[in-house]
Amino acid sequence: MDDFWCETSDDEFNMHDDESLDKRDILDTFGSVYESVEFENYRVLNKEDIKRYQEHDILKVSSSLSVSRYAAAILLHKYAWNGKVLLDAWIADEDGAREFVGLPKKPAVGLQKSGESSVCGMCFEKYVFDKRFENSVGFCGHRFCTACLENHVSKAIDDGPACLFLQCPDPNCRAVIGQDRVNTLVSDEGKIKYKEYLIKSYVEDHKFIKWCPAPNCDCAIQYLRGVSYDVTCRCWSNFCWKCLGEAHSPVDCETAANWMLKNISESENVSWILASTQPCPKCKVLIEKIDWRKYVTCLCGYAFCWTCLGSVTGFECTACVNYQDGVKHDKNAEERVRNRFKECGLRYVYYFQRWDANHKAQEKEVADLCNIKGNLVEVLEKKHCRNGGGFKFLTEAWKQIVECRRLLKWTYVYGYYMPEHANSKTTLFEYLQGEAEMALERLHDCAENTLNLCLKFDDTTDIFETLKFELLDRTAVTKKHFKNLLQGVSDGLPEVEGNPRWKLGL
């Protein structure tokens, strides 16, 4: 009996993914006909899976406790579908457990014979007792006519899920009305509603199962194990299982919530600072620009360019020539921008800018992915006469881009909340972050270039295979860099001597 409640003990409920496959590969493989898909730390359940799991638990309790299926459903529902808690309570005090859920210990039988008339306790009219009710779950012996019971149950079902706890109409009786008696009283529509409420209760009351928060999605996620709560539903919605917000690894739920609240409270200040001020590169005092001039002179006497913060000699700024590529390609420029924000007390602005830029990039990349999956793949397959997933590598690359962009976005939040005095950890983190970001940008460029070439040229096997191999390689490399980044954060960014490449074996 100790192994009574083991969710993964039965073979038909175990499914282990191939470690060589990405979780999205598995989703694509099973498509709309898969049962329950299990990843490292969670399962994706569709509606049929939920019904199957629920029925499995009910039958298990029915067999173990020697009660009817309907009584087992009532017991599990009252104990929040936690079989182990139910079992412990039943073994400790069966009578107490029965009383808690409203199951009489013994059916109240022999009070009347079938066909005999009685007076209804609700309408006080004479009626002929329906003998079928004697064998129903929770039967307590209180007599009511079928019409009054039908109205009592139907109204409760129309009122909502509370009908699952419906009790005898007698005000002094706590006996529950089970699904078997419900089925004899209500219409087919009422039966369907009652079953839907029961299925929803299985998810909503279950400790380790939650509905996908995406609109119009009827899938649920069962959390199994691990430290990461990031999950991806069958509808491609990516969210945090714990808080049901956007997936936010590598930061925890509290940090993510604090960041979003800070964004709201700081939005006006940040907008004004970004639009109207610049710190003097020399003395670090904030300067508000009030006219159209490109070159300004600080009170300390330093003249600089408003665009690139470079020194101005005469009426010319030579630094602007090299500013076209901006922070994206010039590591020295990146370092200068980072330092000027930090030194001026605008550390939040620096990290917010990058978080926001990656957020907007993510939105565009999601739209691009939808366009590729919805239209462009079909166009390419017709153009190049390739069927059966010939261009799946393109969609996989874009899925990787979207996922990595989301991770990169939240690494800036992680960086913002890192202790400023942890210099060696910060150095390792920024190194890993920089390598991952560079790999992502290269993958994005390669994916766009491959897509454009495939759209531009007709089928040429050699060119196609070369493009495919290069994109697959960049996808794998990018995935590895982000895995290193997350692993480093998970390990607490251990301090190492010398170049951090030594730690990662790169």
Give the pLDDT mean for 82-88. 91
Which are the contacts of 128, defined by CB distance < 8 A and separation ≥ 6? 115, 116, 117, 118
Give the pLDDT mean for 289-318. 72
Query: Residue 112 pLDDT more than 60?
Result: no
- Other C-beta atoms lying within 10 Å of the C-beta of residue 55: 13
Residue 420 has a pLDDT of: 72
Residue 451 has a pLDDT of: 85
Q: How far apart are CA 338 and CA 340, in angstroms?
A: 6
Tell me the average pLDDT of the chain.
78
Tokens standing for 481? 């860099």
Residue 15 has a pLDDT of: 35
Give the pLDDT mean for 243-263. 91
Q: Which of 339, 288, 280, 334 is nearest to 310 (CA)?
A: 280
Q: How far apart are CA 331 and CA 320, in angstroms?
A: 16
pLDDT digits (tens, 9 = 90+) for 309-342: 777 766 566 555 444 443 344 455 555 555 555 5
Residue 113 has a pLDDT of: 52
Q: Which of 190, 165, 195, 162 is nearest to 177 (CA)?
A: 165
Residue 340 has a pLDDT of: 56
Residue 203 has a pLDDT of: 93
Q: Which of 63, 81, 88 is nearest to 7 (CA)?
A: 81
Query: Residue 75 pLDDT more than 90?
Result: yes
DSSP β-ladder status, 209-211 and 36-38: unpaired
Q: How far apart are CA 259 and CA 263, in angstroms?
A: 6
Tokens standing for 456? 């531009």
Higher-confidence residue of 125 and 312: namely 125
Residue 503 has a pLDDT of: 43
Query: For the chain, give me the number of helices (H) and strands (E)?
Result: 17, 12
Query: Residue 176 pLDDT more than 80?
Result: yes
- Most confidently modeled of 32-41, 58-67, 265-274, 325-334? 58-67
Note the helical H segments in 301-422: 326-329, 331-343, 347-371, 377-384, 392-417
- Report which residue type is found at 52: R
pLDDT digits (tens, 9 = 90+) for 437-461: 999 999 999 999 888 888 777 766 6
CA 129 to chain centre: 52
Higher-confidence residue of 380 and 214: namely 214
Give the pLDDT mean for 483-492. 87
Query: Residue 500 pLDDT more than 80?
Result: no
- The share of the chain scoring above pLDDT 90, in percent, equals 34
Q: Which of 228, 253, 251 is nearest to 409 (CA)?
A: 251
* 144 phi, psi to nearest 5 deg: -140, 150
Give the pLDDT mean for 111-119. 64
Which are the contacts of 325, defined by CB distance < 8 A and separation ≥ 6? none
Higher-confidence residue of 256 and 386: namely 256
The region of weakest confidence among 11-15, 256-260, 412-416, 491-495 is: 11-15
Give the pLDDT mean for 17-36. 35
Q: Longest C-alpha distance within the chain, in Å?
A: 112
Which are the contacts of 52, defined by CB distance < 8 A and separation ≥ 6? 35
pLDDT category at 171 given cuts 50, 70, 90 is: confident
Give the pLDDT mean for 205-233. 88
Which are the contacts of 288, defined by CB distance < 8 A and separation ≥ 6? 276, 277
Which are the contacts of 110, defined by CB distance < 8 A and separation ≥ 6? none
Residue 477 has a pLDDT of: 94
